[in-house]
Amino acid sequence: MSILKTYDYYLLEEREYEQLLTRNADPSQAVHHVVMEIINDVKTDGDAALRAYAQKLDRVQLERLFLTADEIAALASSIGREQQRALEIAFANIYRFHETQLRKERSIETMPGVKCWREPRPIEKVGLYIPGGSAVLPSTLLMLGVPARIAGCKEIVVCSPPQADGKINGYVAYCLQLLKIDRVYLVGGAQAVAAMAYGTPSVPRVDKIFGPGNQYVTKAKSLVQALAGVSIDMPAGPSEVLVIADGSANPEYVAADLLAQAEHGADSQAILVSTDQRLIDGVQTALEDQLTQLPRAAVAAKALANSYAVLCDNLNEAITFSNRYAPEHLIIETDEWQSLLRKISNAGSVFVGHLTPESAGDYASGTNHTLPTSGYARSYSGVSVDAFVKKITFQHITAEGLRNIGPTVEVLAELEGLQAHKNAVSLRLR
């Protein structure tokens, strides 16, 4: 029995096509109602609500909702040197890629005497949500903390769910040290998002919230953006990957890439789009073989049950399907990948060639792994230094410039019926 249900691209009706493209839906509003209750509890009861949810959801009784620098240092020292070195290399690569993104833009003289320019300013208070449910993700802390540091954010608030011992793991602690962050808040899920949006006696209110999560975290981010006036990075919910592969692909590589995404969570999705039925058959066999070897096989199997394969006649059709799906991660495993790059219009991050696994970008190649999901790659980019800054425009006009631009402004103000706008120029010209 095949693990992935396979669809023929040409036989798909539009209704069925749309169903395949839809994910992370909440038609019954069940997730919405649960998250609204959590948000209201945190908004009303603050720390008491956070402690109650820690006991209910994390099964941990917390006296204090944060760890100090000394506690972080002790946890960081508990991990091995090999793990420390791997985190240091990832930190360095991520930093190297992101530091080029903070560029000074040159000023422009739009006409003689009229000079305009733009300067970045860091968002002062940012909140980073680091998931810690079925898998703890120190890599996410690096992906968010590095660009925040490069941008120059004054206050970086980190929330992550407490482990069974009421602490965080040593890998997250070591990343905190690399980032020079000396406090972490032991709060997870939608309640962490609510705490950073409204503030509590323990958790500071922030200006913008970053980080991936499950459906509840994603829903909380979208709700607090509307209710609390706090900005968010993007809708970054359950993970997804779409692999385009033809007959030149290695089915074992493709299966490994699909499983790497599927093991994130039962609500993840892994899609194979191929021009070769034999490749699809080979991947099905490889999935069965590799799945049994995974410690998180049960989680990955549930994700695969919600995933599928699509058989296309050619790579152009595969790209067309991918652009409509707008995947968080797009992997192109074909010898012809270079000819396809310009045709990609919707994707969070793209991995090209047979030797470029998505897991390299998840951890250490340097690109950011906090990416738009659920089709939002049609309109959102992944996290970058740009996400942690505002760009403010400036202008300066000399006497010559006012003589040049003033009459134009007067005419435009008059035709819009805004006399005071015209007067602001006319008085100066006189």
* CATH label of the domain that carries residue 167: 3.40.50.1980
7 is in an annotated binding site: no
Domain annotation covers residue 194? yes
215 vs 205, higher pLDDT: 205
Kindly state whether residues 181 and 56 are assigned to the same domain. yes
Kindly state whether residues 176 and 245 are assigned to the same domain. no
Judged against a pLDDT cut of 80, whether residue 24 lies above it is answered with no
Residue 59 has phi, psi (to 5 degrees) of 60, 40
Domain annotation covers residue 390? no
List of residues 6+ apart from 300 with CB closer than 8 A: 259, 262, 263, 291, 294
Kindly state whether residues 50 and 131 are assigned to the same domain. yes
Domain annotation covers residue 1? no
Kindly state whether residues 368 and 245 are assigned to the same domain. yes
Provide, rounded to the nearest whole percent, the portion of the chain with pLDDT above 70. 99
Copy the structure tokens of residue 308: 């599928």
Q: How far is CA 373 from CA 188, 213, 215, in A?
A: 20, 11, 11
Kindly state whether residues 250 and 223 are assigned to the same domain. no
10 is in an annotated binding site: no
Count the Cβ atoms, other than its own, within 10 Å of residue 185.
25
Which residue type does 420 have? A
417 vs 133, higher pLDDT: 417
For residues 74-100, give the mean pLDDT: 97
362 is in an annotated binding site: yes
Which residue type does 118 have? R
The count of domains in the chain is 3
Final residue belonging to a domain, choices 233, 266, 294? 233
Alpha carbons 62 and 52: distance in angstroms, whole number: 9
- pLDDT tier at 137 (50, 70, 90 boundaries)? confident
Kindly state whether residues 252 and 179 are assigned to the same domain. no
191 is in an annotated binding site: yes
pTM > 0.75: yes or no: yes
pLDDT at 369: 95
369 is in an annotated binding site: no
Domain that includes residue 415, residue range: 398-429
Kindly state whether residues 311 and 330 are assigned to the same domain. yes
416 is in an annotated binding site: yes
- pLDDT tier at 133 (50, 70, 90 boundaries)? low
Enzyme catalytic residues = 328-329
